[in-house]
Structure 1
Amino acid sequence: MLLTKPEQPVENAIFLVRADPIICGHSTEARNLAEAALALGLKNVHIVSYPIETLQNSSLPLKDLATISPYSEGISMDRPEPVGDYKVLDGRLGLGIGGHIVDLLNKFSGKTMIMDLYLVPHGMMVMQAVNSFKNSGCDADVFTVGEAVGSDITNVVGNALAEGRLGAAQLVLSNYLEHDFPVAVSCFTKDLIVEAGRKVDAKLGTNFTAQLESRVGISFPAIDTSAYIKIEEDPERVEEVLSKRGLEKDGYVMFLSRIAPAKGVDDLVAAWKECSLRGKKKLIICGNGPAKEQIKQETEDMDDVVVFDDISDVEKGVLMHGCYAWCLPSKPKTEFVETFGIAVAEKMLAGGLGPVITTSTGGIPEATGGYCLEHEAGNVEALRACLNKVAEMTDEERKTLSDEARNFAMRFDRAEILLRLIRSAVAEGQTQAA
């Protein structure tokens, strides 16, 4: 049993999230938090997510199911089915998920941490489940953590303000603050959320801004640092994984993320066409997403560019370790702004000689700490200059930058992130109780 304080045992954890096979940083984060909770001795650890069929019928980018690594024994992956029939027009899936959380709480003994990642609609499911105990006269020893990535709140608030439907904005912000400990994945994200609250206050005369400023904490995404650090300890495995993909260590530049306009992959292809690395290295574009077919068509005549849409969890870190440089030229778009950059931090932890090339979009600087080659977002010439600069760097220079990046990224270790969340949430609960 994990003790954050002698009088505050925490025995169970529930993480509600858009989990695998969705290609989403929160999917990885929930896995890491669950694994950390298990390693720290919690009795019951559950990840609650959506039925596979529901995900396959959505427009979300998905991994090949065969490429997903299993969870450790002791972690339960729960995918509750919707409740109700055709007469219930909407909300059946939310009812199924919220009801499942209630079922878990009825079974558990001891204090339970419930964390929802990507607030909308998960925050409402969680708080509805918790409030059902309060309203029924039962008791649940539970504290709640609501993690907002930014777009989950700003998307709803922005649309609500634009359409004059302010009630939806008020619902989302109120639900966020209803959690015992509302957190954001970066300082940039918190600033976005506070600004959203300020706009709602200006329209409704509410008091969200002050509450958001004082109560919202920062919780950077949790990463399994040890899994990336140990990659370099097995060079034979690295060579084997690369060989199966037709690659050689230090022989390729790598992009890994959703293949979408906001990730800047189009800029990378454009910069690659005339950079000094062409003819010397390959460019591999790893991922899936709405722009995949467009990128495939654009690069079909470029024999030094390969698109991989089936990279497994196991391969990912090895490919990051072995690359000549790793590039995420993310740029702000109406539909998406990078609020942290989990893959950036993962690459930094994977080590190797290859430095990170990226932009200062959104929360990315909080992930890199400046230990990267940075270019102006959307500027193809500046991106090409970064690729050319890497080509001019010595191996020693690249290694120095890579080592500094790894040292910085160790702060995102999943066990430390989880412990800070628990301690902060318990302290917040004690403050409110007092």
Structure 2
Amino acid sequence: MMEHPRLTDTSARRLVIVVRADPVICGHSGEARNLAEAALVRGFTEVRIVTWPIDRLVETGLPLKPLDGIAPYSDGIVVERPEAVGDYKVPDGRYLSGLTGRLVELFTDGVPTLAISLYLSPHTIAVTDAVRAAELTGLPVKVTTIAEAVGSDVTNVVRSCVEQNRFGAAAHVLSSYLASDVPVAVSDYTRRLIIESAAAIDARHGTHFAAQCTERVAISYPAINTAEFLDPDPAEVTSRLALRGLTPGSYVLFLSRLAHAKGVDDLIDGFAGSPGCAGLKLVIAGNGPEAQFLRDYAAASPVADRIVFLDDVDDDERAPLMAGCAAFVLPTKPRPEFVETFGIALVEKMLAGGGPVITTETGGVGEAVGDTAMIVPVDDPGAIAAALDEVMAMPADARAELARRARDYAMQFDRAFVLDRLLGRLEQPEVRELSVA
């Protein structure tokens, strides 16, 4: 097998990650940070995260963390936010042009580069377009690409294109994905969704996307910084909780994006119906499109005085909140606009300790939790109430054993392991060898 000079030359190796990065509240924003940090340890001499300007993120309405609560990146990681290209006469695509143009510059300076895109649309599309443009310049191009498909790529883009018979848009996304040297999906569930959607396109239009996806798409679970959550200092947990008026074991926790698919309304009803939670609070931490609706919904609950919303949780507070909870509940459910294709927050909670995880088997959640969580049906507040009652009655030694098994299972998603597995895929024979001028 030919050597890959862009990968083996440790004197000049660059990693470029294209993603919706901080301050966006999204598990894959954190995954990008984790891959970047792991790359520094693995010998990459330059790591860049190429993302969107803050003002553009605000304009989109995406749920965002407080800007002053974002943990700093390590020295050696540069976050770039390319500005838009053009003015008001360009009705759309101005920011994408800025991002793609910056990638072309990075891909043509002769530095061996690994480019990882998280989300097919628009990030993988941008990388694929940038590689094509870079190769046409005639300048030295030493770039290898990894494209990671996540849940909303399928539910929000590919599958919707199939349902609306928008062949061109679906073909654009899938062909950009398959143009990558290593196409991966965040779970087996996601991989199967991609293949099913591709097969539907093939059946309708005579294309051959499904066979290519079946042959080439591998699984790469999200990269998590396990050290951030493991063995939190009890004194630190107690002090951080005190700032919120909480004590260890005094609350049930939800921590994720506030969207209908997350099942927070079911959790509110289940909490209200649980006698075992009579002396506890329900802490709902996060932000998102359903934030105001859920606040109004909670205000009408018979236990409204015991429901607390936190929309300003910073990076350093996540582990203490998880470690101190009596139970962590994420009753996610499939929706046309979103299906939980893994469940990063669940794994983080499993690492942090605290009370048991209660969740559903929606999408790829089973791959995230294994047999270490209590599973309830979707859309079933009564089952949530029963699970909470069971948790509150659980002996301390049983809770401790469940927490230990959950932590051990979650360690497989450590960012170093995930990056090593990705890098290992680059040495497989089917990886495209790009010409180096």
**TM bucket, shorter chain:** over 0.9
In structure 1, what is the equivalent of residue 209 of structure 2?
208
In structure 2, what is the equivalent of residue 256 of structure 1?
255
Alignment of 1:147-186 (within 5 A): 147-186=148-187
Give, as a single letter, the amino acid of the residue that structure 2 aligns with 1:151: S
* Aligned residues: CA RMSD: 1.9
User: Shift of the alpha carbon at 1:431?
Assistant: 6.5
1:73-124: CA deviations, max 9, x gaps?
A: 1110100001122232322111100111122234452x21100001101111
Q: Hey, what's the Cα distance between the residues in 1 that align with 2:297 and 2:163? A: 36
Give, as a single letter, the amino acid of the residue that structure 1 aligns with 2:296: Q
Give, as a single letter, the amino acid of the residue that structure 2 aligns with 1:317: A
What SS does the aligned partner of 1:77 have? Answer: strand
Q: Could you state the TM-score of these two structures normalised by the residue count of structure 2?
A: 0.94
- Would you say the 8 A contact 2:185–2:218 is kept in 1? yes
- Would you say the 8 A contact 2:6–2:143 is kept in 1? no
Distance 1:53 1:273, change over 3 A: same
User: Shift of the alpha carbon at 1:430?
Assistant: 4.6
- Would you say the 8 A contact 1:181–1:428 is kept in 2? no
User: Shift of the alpha carbon at 1:136?
Assistant: 1.8
Give, as a single letter, the amino acid of the residue that structure 2 aligns with 1:126: V
In structure 2, what is the equivalent of residue 296 of structure 1?
295
- Would you say the 8 A contact 1:284–1:307 is kept in 2? yes
Structure 1 residue 396 and structure 2 residue 393: aligned?
no
Alignment of 1:87-166 (within 5 A): 87-107=89-109, 109=111, 111-166=112-167
How high is the sequence identity, in percent, across the aligned residues? 46
In structure 1, what is the equivalent of residue 387 of structure 2?
386
In structure 1, what is the equivalent of residue 59 of structure 2?
57
Q: Hey, what's the Cα distance between the residues in 1 that align with 2:414 and 2:9? A: 22
User: Shift of the alpha carbon at 1:163?
Assistant: 3.0
1:142-175: CA deviations, max 9, x gaps?
A: 1100000132134323333333321111111111
- Would you say the 8 A contact 2:109–2:141 is kept in 1? no
Q: Hey, what's the Cα distance between the residues in 1 that align with 2:58 and 2:432? A: 43
- Would you say the 8 A contact 2:108–2:134 is kept in 1? no
User: Shift of the alpha carbon at 1:32?
Assistant: 0.5
What SS does the aligned partner of 2:312 have? Answer: coil
1:280-301: CA deviations, max 9, x gaps?
A: 2111000001221122223236
- Would you say the 8 A contact 2:70–2:315 is kept in 1? yes
In structure 2, what is the equivalent of residue 9 of structure 1?
9
1:332-369: CA deviations, max 9, x gaps?
A: 111110000000000001123x1100000000000001
In structure 2, what is the equivalent of residue 280 of structure 1?
279
What SS does the aligned partner of 2:277 have? Answer: coil
Distance 1:428 1:181, change over 3 A: farther
Number of aligned positions between the proteins: 428
What SS does the aligned partner of 1:297 have? Answer: helix
1:271-330: CA deviations, max 9, x gaps?
A: 111202333211100000122112222323622110100111100011101111111000
In structure 2, what is the equivalent of residue 24 of structure 1?
26
- Would you say the 8 A contact 1:143–1:426 is kept in 2? no
Distance 1:261 1:411, change over 3 A: same
Distance 1:431 1:294, change over 3 A: closer
Unaligned runs of 5+ in 1: none
- Would you say the 8 A contact 1:147–1:184 is kept in 2? yes
User: Shift of the alpha carbon at 1:432?
Assistant: 6.1
Q: Hey, what's the Cα distance between the residues in 2 that align with 1:132 and 1:195? A: 31
- Would you say the 8 A contact 2:65–2:312 is kept in 1? yes
- Would you say the 8 A contact 2:174–2:209 is kept in 1? yes
